[in-house]
Structure 1
Amino acid sequence: MTKRVVTLAHYYTQPEIQQMADKVGDSLELSLYAREAEADIIVFAGVRFMAETAKILNPKAEVVLPDAGSTCSLVTQTDVSALRAWRESYPDHVHVAYINSSAEHKALSDWIVTSRNVDDIIAHLYAEGKKVIFSPDRNMGAYLNYQYGYDMPLWSAVCEVHDKFNETALNEALAAVTGKAHLIAHPESPLPVLKRAEYVGSTSGMLNWVKSFQGDAHAVIFVATEDGILYNMGQARPDLDLRQAPIYAGCQCNSCPYMKMNTVEAVRRAQNGEGIRIDYLTEAQMEAARRPIERMLDFSQRYYA
């Protein structure tokens, strides 16, 4: 019997990869899709933590990552033993972890969040009188503390792509625009950049902002996130002048090297049975990680229904 293969691709992968996928989305969309996918094999064109999440949510499926090197700096910068000790130093706090984290990291968490629902989930916890610690993204946590007046202790890791966005270079780029300029940004970016942004939100949130933009058609829209999403934005609004925010000396060339390991050849090989299988997680690890992920997904389905 022929096995059913479902291919998922994140917005940050190359356009050719997205065209090979059954579903393209951000972390929340792909997690929801993976949980319900009736698939024998899930090929996940993204990074390892995403493939791990798919396996945790759909353990009966065989989950394949096209390239073994597709990791994330938020994972590599986090020592799980040190994280465990940090968490234990706040015994009366709820540990909220960003989905950009390893399965072992998720297993040490009470809630998982994505950039789309982090504001609402943490507001929900504070409304219940809870105290919160946040990991692993320091920039995202710093923005939440600044924006909402929280005092969350933060873990100290960053996305090496978003952390390169530079306020000085941004100021120069904005000053060079003769007409109207806008800035939208992903919350993994540094706080000085986020303070300047007209909109801060998830990958899909920024895409929706661009789709619904009704301002000056000649305006320049700077986008502070990985350059892959510029393809989707351009497809949706070819009439707009969309540019990636600069990182230094005006350079608009900020790509995630791990996402770009998902080449057409690697994805095609994975669809044909090759690639890295996510088969190393124990049942206990998956169960411990599944609880905070499911808590997040259930909240999101109720809140965004």
Structure 2
Amino acid sequence: MTKRVVTLAHYYTQPEVQQMADKVGDSLELSLYAQEAEADIIVFAGVRFMAETAKILNPKARVILPDADSTCSLVTQTDVTQLAKWRNSYPDHVHVSYINSSAEHKALSDWIVTSRNVDDVIAELYSQGKKVIFSPDRNMGAYLNFQYGYDMPLWSAVCEVHDKFNETALNEAIGAVDAAHLIAHPESPLPVLQRAEYVGSTSGMLNWVKGYQGETKDVIFVATEDGILYNMRMARPDLDLRQAPIYAGCQCNSCPYMKLNNVEAVKRAQDGIGLEIDYLTTEQMAAARVPIERMLAFSQRYLA
């Protein structure tokens, strides 16, 4: 019997990999798709925590990551033993964790959020009079505290890609053009986010670009991983879209882990060769599934 293979690709993967996928999206879109996918094998062209999330949501499918080294600095910078101690030091707080986290990390969480729904989830918790701690992304948490006046204790990890965006280099780039706009992902440093006229998820930024109605001669700087620029330019070839500069001054900021998902690696994974997500215990998956499904149920009302 022919096995049904479903291939998922994040916006940060290479264009040729996205073209191989059954679904391209951000973390929230791909999580929802994985949950409902009628697949024997799910090939996840992304990073390990994404493949783990797909396995948690669709445990009957074989989930394969094309390259075992496709990790995330938010995961590698988080010692789960220390995280548990930190979490336990706030027994009266709700632990909200960004989806860019390991399965073990998720199992220590009350809620999982993505960059698309984090504002809504935390606002809802505060409206209920609850106190929140936020992990693992320090930059995202700092922005939420600044933007909404929260006082959430924060974990200390950062995305090594987004953390490179630099206010000084950005000021120089903006000063060199006649008119500029800045949109940014909330994993970026707070000084960059404070300058942005739109801060949002990968899909949110893509939708902002699609709906842009200003002067086409204006320069739009995008503070996120460079993979999404492919999708933005496909949607709006009339616009001058540029990646925001990093501290070194270059506009050359890629996630090395996402780029391990090359065409050959994805083809091998479609044949069943790669890192299979078969190492999570039933107990780990059950514990991690609770906050993920809580987030997905909440998010249904915000998705078209």
Shorter chain as denominator, the TM-score bin is over 0.9
Tell me, yes or no, if the aligned pair for 1:39 and 1:61 is still in contact at 8 Å: yes
Q: Which residue of 1 aligns with 2:247?
A: 248
Q: Distance in 1 between matches of 2:242 and 2:229?
A: 8
CA distance in 1, matches of 2:147, 2:302: 21
Give the distance between the partners of 1:295 and 1:122, measured in 2 at CA.
13
Q: Report the counterpart of residue 160 of structure 1 in structure 2.
A: 160
Task: Note the alpha carbon deviations across 1:78-114, whole angstroms, 9 max, x for none.
Answer: 0000000000000000000000000000000000000
- Secondary structure of 1:189's partner? coil
Matched, 1:50 2:60: no
Q: CA deviation at 1:303?
A: 3.6
Distance 1:3 1:226 in 2: 34
In structure 2, C-alpha distance between the alignment counterparts of 1:287 and 1:195, rounded to whole Å: 38
Tell whether 2:271 aligns with 1:269.
no
Question: Residue 250 of structure 1: CA displacement?
Answer: 2.5
State how 1:1-305 maps to structure 2 within 5 Å: 1-177=1-177, 179-305=178-304
Q: Deviations over 1:52-101 (max 9, x none)?
A: 00000000000000000000000000000000000000000000000000
CA distance in 2, matches of 1:114, 1:290: 15
**Deviation at 1:248?**
2.5
CA distance in 2, matches of 1:187, 1:286: 28
Distance in 2, matches of 1:247 and 1:63, equals 34
1:298 partner amino acid? A
1:69 match: secondary structure = coil
Equivalent-residue separation in structure 1 for 2:260 and 2:301 (angstroms): 35
Secondary structure in structure 1 of the residue aligned to 2:254: coil
* Distance of 2:189 and 2:267 partners within structure 1: 36
Identity across aligned pairs (percent)? 86
Letter in 1 for 2:115: S
Deviation at 1:302, TM superposition (A): 2.5
Q: Distance in 2 between matches of 1:37 and 1:137?
A: 29
Residue 150 of structure 2 aligns to which amino acid in structure 1? Y
Deviations 1:147-196 (A, max 9, x none): 0000000000000000000000000000001x210000000000000000
TM-aligned CA deviation for residue 249 of structure 1: 4.1
Give 2:190's aligned amino acid.
L
Give the alignment's TM-score, normalised by structure 2: 0.99
Paired letter, 2:260: M
Q: Distance in 1 between matches of 2:257 and 2:46?
A: 8
Question: Do 1:180 and 1:216's aligned partners in 2 also have CA atoms closer than 8 Å?
Answer: no
Cα deviation, 1:194-222, whole Å, max 9, x if unaligned, reads 00001000000000000000001100000
- Cα distance change on mapping 1:236 and 1:294 into 2, 3 Å: same
- Letter of the aligned partner of 2:76 in structure 1? T
One-letter amino acid of the counterpart of residue 40, structure 1: D
Q: Secondary structure at the match of 1:154?
A: coil
Deviation at 1:127, TM superposition (A): 0.2
- Consecutive unaligned residues of structure 2, counting only runs of 5 or more, are none
**2:24 alignment partner, SS class:** strand
> For the residues of structure 2 that align with 1:293 and 1:121, how far apart are their CA atoms?
12
Secondary structure of 2:293's aligned partner: helix
RMSD: 0.6
Provide the rounded CA distance (Å) in 2 between the counterparts of 1:303 and 1:14: 28
Secondary structure at the residue paired with 2:78?
A: coil
Gaps of 5+ in 1: none
Shift of 1:273: 1.3
Q: Distance in 2 between matches of 1:181 and 1:171?
A: 11
